[in-house]
Every structure is written in structure tokens, then in C-alpha cells.
Amino acid sequence: MGVPHRELYIDGAWVAPASNGRIDVISPATGDVVGSIPRGGAADVNQAVQAATKAFCGPWSKYSGHQRAAYLRKIAEKVKERKNDLAQLESLDNGKPISEAEWDIDDVAGCFEYYADLAEKLDESQDSPVPLPMEEFKTVLRREPLGPVGLISAWNYPMLIATWKVAPALAAGCTVVLKPSEMASLTCLEMAAIADEVQLPPGVLNVVTGLGVEAGAPLSGHPGVAKISFTGSTATGQRIAEAAAKNGVQTCMELGGKSCLIVFNDANIEDAVEWACFGCFWTNGQICSATSRLLVHEDIADAFYARLKQRAETIKIADPLQADTRLGPVISSAQLEKIMGFIKDTKDEGATLLTGGKRPEHLSRGYFVEPTVFINVKPEMRLWREEVFGPVLASATFCTEEEAIAIANGSQYGLAAAVISADAERCKRVAAAMETGIVWINCSQPCFCQAPWGGKKASGYGRELGTYGLDSYLSVKQVTSYVSKERWDWYPVESKL
């Protein structure tokens, strides 16, 4: 398939970057160069922030929620019309199996529609009264868009993660400068093309592609944005939060994870193995919320591991554009090297390799890794502590519920956790005890745009999605009126307040 040649999208126009530079797009499935994206820099970011500021002060923030919703619905319609080519582009660029890319594109359309609904509801909830203890006063709340915002997204769900930010920001009345990851920017440029097609007013959505240090850093340190919403690694998130704090700019951080799946001895082994594989190997193992630590009750460990080995070895690794592929390549040669480094270190540290651990023999090109499972992994091992961002599962056994909770929580991260057990009360107890922003019971990874998403500890702060996602792009203003006919008598104040 052809990769569209696009420029930066600033102020409603396609413009070449000031440097005139471009970055090669490499297919992770083959290592071939399949296209290029513009290499934006500080000057382009500055121009985009200026355009977003002009558009914010111009029509966009003044529109009603219903007017903004109409644009979001048009964008959703175009995404649906283009589902097949967007999914193919995503799979080509990022390496995820085409079946998963199709889900993502459906979710992109669904997310724009969901925030269109919330934008409309915003009109109805505007100027809502606040009950006060004094009848001489009346307070109403106005919810107002923050301003132009900077959105910096990751490559594992390129269009979807961008949408998690863009849709609520636009619904709230903010204008946007989006900086996608240079590893996978193609569908974010197509989002700009769709915005152009539906005649979104110029400057409302600006897309500046480029390297993190060249385009991301100037955006995160720009004094003209009201907020930076970031999805990416913990290390980069810390740098961005620091740069934004210097300008008093607020941030939302969706960072890395090392989530734990706990399987109790009353679990159905077949079902639990299926969730364990899906929870870690989906999206080629490159999921922030991947349940990449697996705790199995010692009573069922032998049977569980036998089935897990069998199941992992049947996962189809192939060209991601084939309909029945379940595991594609990881994003880049550097990521492949990093993953192989983890595998080597884990072997050296003495964990047992249950299955995988190498590149598949039938695929000579591209950045493929077999689904890999290590058992007898100790908490002090690197694989247990650090995020791999690849199809590598670390497992250990446990004996009691208390022990499982302590091990699961013994991580610097706090994005998600999962528990599988037939005992509903136990599941509730474990869910309450997890130091994470998300807990799954008897499953792993389902994600709906209606439910808030985000983590604790080194996994970040703030929430995306749901009504929380919209609220995060709004500020609340109290408007208080004196409504009594009586003249205000300030003395004695104490008796009135």
C-alpha cells in the first residue's frame, strides 16, 4: 500500500518544516523504508502554538458544545469511512496485527463520538448552581476550556492514544498542537487530513511530527500552552514535567508500567492462560498496561505452566498485514535489541526459560521476537522490576493472598493489576488492595473510552478517558452574585458567614 506524502499541518495548511528535513518511515515487519514524515523543530512548534492560540481566541472556545460536537461527529464518520486504509497504515507503520489495528480504528471513531456526546452535555451543565449556606448569594459554576494544549503521544497505539487526548481537548473547547512519536506518526498525519476534509477551523488541530528532542522538547517547554498531556516512558515524562513546571504549565502523565496478573488456585486454568497470553502478548507485548508479571498459586503452577507453554507456542507470528496474525514485530531494531538484552540478562540471572527467548526462525527480516515466558523469576531480577515493552512474560509462584498482594504492589509502577479467581469476595479484596489506577477481575486489558485511564506511582498522574478526560481540559470558574434586595451590611461579618 502507498504511504501518503504529508507535510506538517499548521493553521489549516500543509507546510514543510522550517528545516525542510524528513525522517524515514521504516516498516518493522521488513526493515524497509516505506515513506517519510516531516522533521519538525522548534520554529514549527512555535508557529503551531501561535496558530492554536489564535484559533482558541477566535471561534473555537466560543462555540457551543453542540457546535464542537458536530465537528467531532464528522471526524468520526470520516474515520469510519477510511477504516481499512487507516488500519493498514497503522499496521505497516507500527507492526501491530491488522486485526488489532482495525479494533483501534473502530475505537478512534467511538472515542470521537463519545466526546461529541459529552461536549453536548457540557452546554446543559453550564452555569450549574452550587448550594450555599447564605441566601443573599448565588453561585454558579462555569466550566471553561484551558486554552491551547500540547499533546505528546507514544507509538504503540498511534492514532488511538492521540485520540484519547485530541477528542476530549477539542470537545472541551481547547485547541491542540499534537506531537506524535516519530516511530509511528502516519495515522496522526491522516487525522490532520481528516480535520482538513471536515473543515475544522484553521489552527484548532495542528500536527507537528519530528523527533522527541527536536519537536517534543520545545512543545513541552513552550510558555504558550496551558497544558501538556504526555504518554510515554517514565524517564521522558519526568523531563517533560520539569520543563512544563518552569512555565507553570499543568501536566497529565500516562507513563510506563509493570502490571501484575494474580492467578489463584480456584481459577479455570484454560481461561486464565488465555488472559495471561492476551494480557502480555497483545500489541506485540508493547502495552503500557501489559500484565507482564504473572503470579501463579503454587498448587496449580505445574498444570498452569504446561498449558501456558503449549498456548504460547501456538500464537501465530507472521506478517502483521495477514488477517490471522496474532503477533507481529516490535517497533524497531533498537527495541528488538533491548528485548534480547532483557532475555539474556534473565537467563544469566538464573530464571527458567519456559518458552521462546529468540527470534522466530521462519522470519528472516523484520523485528520479530517469539512470545517468551520465564518462570522462577525473583523479585530482585531486572525482568521483574523493569518494563520490557515486548512479548516477554515474567512469572513466579505464591502461596497466600497476603503474599500475592505484597509482591504485586512491590513495584515502582502502579498502572494496572489483574486477578483471576472464582471467589468474588477475594477478587474484590485484592482489587481494593492494589496500588494501581486500574484493576481487572477475571480478565486483563479491556479498555473502554467511557472509563478513566491512568496510573499511580511511577506510572504517572492525572486521568484520561471518561468524564475525567473531558474535565482535565476544563477549568472551573465560580461566578458568585449578591442577589438580596437588602444593602450589604458588613458588620459583624462573623454572624453572617
Binding residues for ligand NDP (CB under 6 A):
152-156, 161, 179, 181-183, 211-213, 216-217, 220, 231-233, 236, 239-240, 254-257, 288, 387, 389, 415, 455, 460
CA separation, residue 153 to residues 31, 88, 208, 308, 383 (Å): 23, 20, 12, 33, 25
**Edge-to-edge strands, sheet with 474-482:** 128-130, 137-145, 474-482
Residue 31's contacts (CB-CB under 8 Å, 6 or more residues apart) are: 333, 365, 366, 367
435 belongs to the catalytic site? no
Using an 8 Å Cβ cutoff, are 315 and 278 in contact? no
DSSP secondary structure of 417-441: EEEE-S-HHHHHHHHHH--SSEEEE
Give min distance, CB of 184 to ligand NDP, in A: 8
Give min distance, CB of 444 to ligand NDP, in A: 15
Using an 8 Å Cβ cutoff, are 272 and 295 in contact? no
**Rounded Cα–Cα distance for residues 156 and 96 (Å):** 8
Residue tagged active-site, from 111, 280, 288, 427: 288
For ligand NDP, the closer CB: 97 or 218: 218
Give min distance, CB of 416 to ligand NDP, in A: 9
For ligand NDP, the closer CB: 246 or 358: 246
Angle between helix 158-172 and helix 186-197 axes, rounded to 10 deg: 40
277 belongs to the catalytic site? no
Give min distance, CB of 23 to ligand NDP, in A: 8
Give min distance, CB of 207 to ligand NDP, in A: 12
Reading phi first (left if > 0) and then psi (alpha if -120 to 50, else beta), residue 336 is in alpha
For ligand NDP, the closer CB: 131 or 446: 446
For ligand NDP, the closer CB: 25 or 296: 25
Give min distance, CB of 470 to ligand NDP, in A: 17
For ligand NDP, the closer CB: 233 or 475: 233
For ligand NDP, the closer CB: 82 or 165: 165
β-bridge partners, 261: 294, 418
**Rounded Cα–Cα distance for residues 20 and 36 (Å):** 12
Alpha carbon 448 to its chain centroid, in Å, reads 12
Residue tagged active-site, from 254, 370, 401, 464: 254
Residues noted as catalytic: 254, 288
